[in-house]
């Protein structure tokens, strides 16, 4: 029976980034994916001539964030990112930029003037406390604001909270809003990366690759990032912050990020699809392999499915760990993709828009980045909603269409393609009391990676953080370099 160094369970972006990095440290890796296609929540596919993504995506912290570090150190081929553009707010009678800093709040007349002053003061206070090292991860956004604001202001702050944590402002931390709005920026220094991957015992047989393309960002994004990266104190961002700082949309769609990982995988990585892992096998407190369509053996297993499913798969987990995993919070999302028969004036912008009344949405006209995602002369827009677990999917879909038609009444006459996706965007929501698993499990050489194993940032950026954390833990355990 062939033995692998590492078995990775799951071929979403976390599993594939794990396979890529571990194989580049010399490990022979087997990836097992239960679906017939790979990519999980990070992919694109064609519906009636329109190329939709698995949810509307902005890729964040591309200058010095964790994904950038992984791309620089391990990718042989770099995706091209288009400048993300701006975030806008749509109401029945207004369309204007989301305020990025306290200066922008002055003119943001969607909300009453008094409320804008209160919100600006709350941001200033939060950033000042953060700058002085106060932990704001357990303080809710709601507790930070006055209780005497208008409904519109609460709805607006709730909508932002939903998109950043999946929950309302009572369950979203101040820290999450500061980092999600770029006041506090995600970064992993190259020196940190090098120290994480430092060889402890034996020399590396295969060096970590440096990027072969220095910087392959779209020129306008590069220019903006150069401007934005001038030294600034965190507090200085109160006046100058940009929410969309160093964000991008991958040219040719989300799947081009997936393709860049696949292109960079060495031959020592084997991927099997349609292969669900049902049991993770252990012996004397150490992982020995997995049971799927057959039994596979390995020295190490990296699990990237839902950590909440682990107790079903590993019989020997301690009950205290199983109890802790019950603290993980999930949220569900619905994305409605609309293929339009022409280019609508309403979507004549680059970036995304937020509707914050009743059922909030976040929408992206992705053909404005790349017209090849739709047939010639047509437009493709994705509207993402957070949906409630207790309501039926069909009623949430119905509500979503009603909201879209209320926000953009003319759209109904232009719909050529409709497509709905219901997904869990992140395997854990960053709520005040939400639990995140550690990359190390109580079973020796069984590790976990993915969006429920690291609470920093969100989505793909968080997945990248979790993989860097995995590398660090595996290196400390002398399991990284082969
Ligand atoms: C609507 C929406 C909007 C989003 N917006 C953004 C955004 O703007 N920016 C951003 O960065 N991110 C965004 N995300 C989130 C991002 O796409 C995900 O966080 C990321 O793709 C998760 O990757 P993952 O590998 O951790 O998990 P997944 O994609 O869930 O992959 C896990 C994989 O493991 C497989 N698996 C599970 N159990 C088993 C098993 N037992 N055996 C074999 N295989 C198994 C699954 O089939 C799956 O393929 C969004 C997501 C959605 C849905």
| Closest residue by CA, ligand 1 atom 7 | 57
Going through 103-178 in order, the beta strands assigned E by DSSP cover none
3 state DSSP class of 103: helix
Ligand 1 atom index nearest CA of 254: 17
The answer to whether 195 and 208 have CB atoms below 8 angstroms apart is no
* φ, ψ dihedrals at 303, nearest 5°: -100, 125
Which of 423, 451, 458, 457 lies closest to 437 in space, CA to CA? Answer: 451
Supply the pLDDT for residue 151: 93
Interval between CA 127 and ligand 1 midpoint (Å) = 31
CB-CB neighbours of 352 under 10 Å: 28
Which of 442, 411, 147 lies closest to 321 in space, CA to CA? Answer: 442
From CA 372, how far away is CA 421, in angstroms rounded? 21
Interval between CA 305 and ligand 1 midpoint (Å) = 9
The pLDDT tens digits along the chain (482 residues) read 679 999 999 999 999 999 999 999 999 999 999 999 999 999 999 999 999 999 999 999 998 899 999 999 999 999 999 999 999 999 999 999 988 888 888 888 899 999 998 888 888 888 888 888 888 888 999 988 878 899 999 999 999 998 888 889 999 988 888 888 777 777 888 888 888 877 765 444 444 443 333 344 555 555 555 544 443 467 777 777 776 678 999 999 999 999 999 999 999 999 999 999 999 999 999 999 999 999 999 999 999 999 999 999 999 999 999 999 999 988 899 999 999 999 999 999 999 999 998 899 999 999 999 999 999 999 999 999 999 888 999 999 999 999 999 999 999 999 999 999 999 998 998 888 889 999 999 999 999 999 999 988 889 999 999 999 999 999 999 999 98
| Closest residue by CA, ligand 1 atom 14 | 459
CB-CB neighbours of 114 under 10 Å: 13
Supply the pLDDT for residue 182: 75
CA of 87: how far to CAs of 35, 243, 247, 476, in Å?
34, 8, 11, 41
The answer to whether 275 and 33 have CB atoms below 8 angstroms apart is yes
Interval between CA 357 and ligand 1 midpoint (Å) = 28
Ligand 1 atom index nearest CA of 39: 49
Ligand 1 atom index nearest CA of 292: 42
Interval between CA 426 and ligand 1 midpoint (Å) = 6
Which of 229, 242, 186, 220 lies closest to 67 in space, CA to CA? Answer: 186
Interval between CA 477 and ligand 1 midpoint (Å) = 27
Going through 57-183 in order, the beta strands assigned E by DSSP cover 81-83, 86-90, 95-97
Interval between CA 306 and ligand 1 midpoint (Å) = 10
Choose the residue to mutate in 13, 19, 41 for probing ligand 1, maximizing ligand atoms within 8 Å of C-beta. 41
| Closest residue by CA, ligand 1 atom 19 | 459
Which of 387, 455, 371, 402 lies closest to 55 in space, CA to CA? Answer: 387
Interval between CA 67 and ligand 1 midpoint (Å) = 15
CA angle 361–362–366, rounded 5-degree value? 135
Residues making up the chain, counted from first to last = 482
From CA 359, how far away is CA 274, in angstroms rounded? 36
Supply the pLDDT for residue 183: 72
221: part of which helix (H) or strand (E)?
A: helix 219-228
The domain segmentation of the chain, as residue ranges, is: 3-42+65-80+186-221+247-276+429-476, 101-180, 332-423
Interval between CA 146 and ligand 1 midpoint (Å) = 36
| Closest residue by CA, ligand 1 atom 46 | 10
Supply the pLDDT for residue 421: 98
The answer to whether 239 and 232 have CB atoms below 8 angstroms apart is no
Ligand 1 atom index nearest CA of 15: 25
Interval between CA 42 and ligand 1 midpoint (Å) = 6
Choose the residue to mutate in 58, 244, 305 for probing ligand 1, maximizing ligand atoms within 8 Å of C-beta. 305
Contacts of 313 (CB under 8 A, 6+ apart): 277, 278, 279, 280, 303
Considering Cα of 306, then 311, then 313, then 317, what sign does the dihedral take?
A: positive
Supply the pLDDT for residue 223: 53
Choose the residue to mutate in 36, 40, 289, 364 for probing ligand 1, maximizing ligand atoms within 8 Å of C-beta. 40
End-to-end C-alpha distance for the chain, whole angstroms? 20
Contacts of 121 (CB under 8 A, 6+ apart): none
* φ, ψ dihedrals at 437, nearest 5°: -80, 155
Fold of 3-42+65-80+186-221+247-276+429-476: FAD/NAD(P)-binding domain (3.50.50)
Ligand 1 atom index nearest CA of 32: 43
Using CB distances shorter than 6 Å, the residues near ligand 1 are 9-15, 32-35, 40-42, 54-60, 276-277, 304-305, 333, 335, 384, 423, 425-426, 450-451, 459-461, 463
From CA 403, how far away is CA 383, in angstroms rounded? 10
From CA 294, how far away is CA 284, in angstroms rounded? 22
| CA 197 to chain centroid | 24
Supply the pLDDT for residue 204: 46
CA of 240: how far to CAs of 100, 129, 243, in Å?
8, 18, 10
Considering Cα of 369, then 374, then 378, then 380, what sign does the dihedral take?
A: negative
Choose the residue to mutate in 304, 352, 439, 453 for probing ligand 1, maximizing ligand atoms within 8 Å of C-beta. 304
Interval between CA 467 and ligand 1 midpoint (Å) = 14
From CA 6, how far away is CA 28, in angstroms rounded? 6
From CA 186, how far away is CA 178, in angstroms rounded? 11
Ligand 1 atom index nearest CA of 452: 26
Ligand 1 atom index nearest CA of 426: 19
3 state DSSP class of 331: coil
Interval between CA 53 and ligand 1 midpoint (Å) = 12
């Amino acid at each position: 029976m062939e033995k692998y160094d590492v078995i990775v369970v799951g071929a979403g972006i976390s599993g594939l980034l794990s396979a890529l990095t571990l194989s580049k440290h010399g490990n022979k890796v087997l990836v097992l994916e239960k679906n017939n296609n790979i990519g999980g929540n990070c992919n694109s596919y064609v519906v009636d001539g329109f190329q939709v993504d698995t949810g509307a995506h902005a890729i964040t912290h591309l200058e010095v964030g964790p994904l950038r570090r992984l791309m620089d150190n391990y990718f042989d081929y770099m995706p091209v990112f288009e400048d993300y553009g701006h975030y806008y707010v749509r109401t029945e009678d207004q369309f204007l930029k989301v305020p990025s800093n306290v200066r922008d709040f002055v003119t943001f007349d969607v909300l009453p003037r008094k409320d804008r002053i209160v919100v600006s003061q709350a941001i200033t206070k939060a950033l000042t406390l953060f700058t002085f090292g106060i932990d704001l991860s357990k303080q809710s956004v709601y507790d930070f604001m006055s209780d005497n604001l208008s409904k519109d202001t609460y709805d607006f702050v709730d909508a932002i909270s939903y998109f950043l944590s999946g929950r309302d402002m009572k369950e979203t931390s101040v820290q999450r809003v500061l980092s999600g709005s770029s006041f506090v920026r995600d970064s992993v220094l190259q020196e940190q990366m090098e120290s994480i991957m430092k060889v402890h015992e034996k020399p590396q047989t295969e060096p970590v690759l440096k990027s072969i393309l220095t910087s392959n960002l779209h020129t306008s994004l590069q220019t903006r990032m150069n401007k934005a990266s001038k030294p600034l104190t965190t507090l200085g961002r109160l006046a100058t912050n940009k929410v969309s700082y160093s964000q991008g949309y991958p040219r040719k769609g989300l799947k081009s990020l997936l393709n860049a990982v696949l292109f960079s995988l060495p031959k020592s990585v084997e991927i099997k699809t349609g292969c669900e892992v049902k049991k993770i096998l252990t012996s004397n407190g150490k992982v020995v392999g997995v049971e799927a369509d057959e039994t596979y053996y390995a020295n190490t297993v990296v699990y990237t499915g839902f950590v909440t499913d682990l107790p079903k798969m590993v019989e020997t987990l301690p009950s205290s760990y199983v109890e802790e995993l019950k603290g993980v919070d999930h949220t569900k999302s619905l994305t409605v993709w609309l293929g339009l028969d022409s280019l609508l004036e309403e979507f004549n912008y680059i970036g995304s828009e937020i509707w914050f009344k009743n059922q909030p949405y976040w929408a992206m006209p992705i053909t404005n980045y790349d017209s090849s995602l739709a047939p010639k002369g047509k437009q493709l827009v994705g509207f993402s909603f957070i949906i409630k677990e207790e309501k039926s999917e069909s009623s949430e879909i119905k509500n979503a269409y009603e909201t879209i038609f209320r926000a953009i009444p003319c759209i109904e006459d232009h719909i050529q393609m409709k497509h709905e996706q219901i997904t869990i965007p992140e395997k854990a929501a960053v709520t005040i009391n939400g639990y995140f698993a550690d990359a190390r499990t109580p079973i020796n050489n069984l590790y976990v990676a993915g969006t429920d194993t690291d609470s920093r940032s969100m989505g793909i950026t968080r997945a990248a953080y979790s993989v860097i954390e995995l590398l660090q833990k595996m290196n400390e355990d002398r399991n990284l370099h082969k």
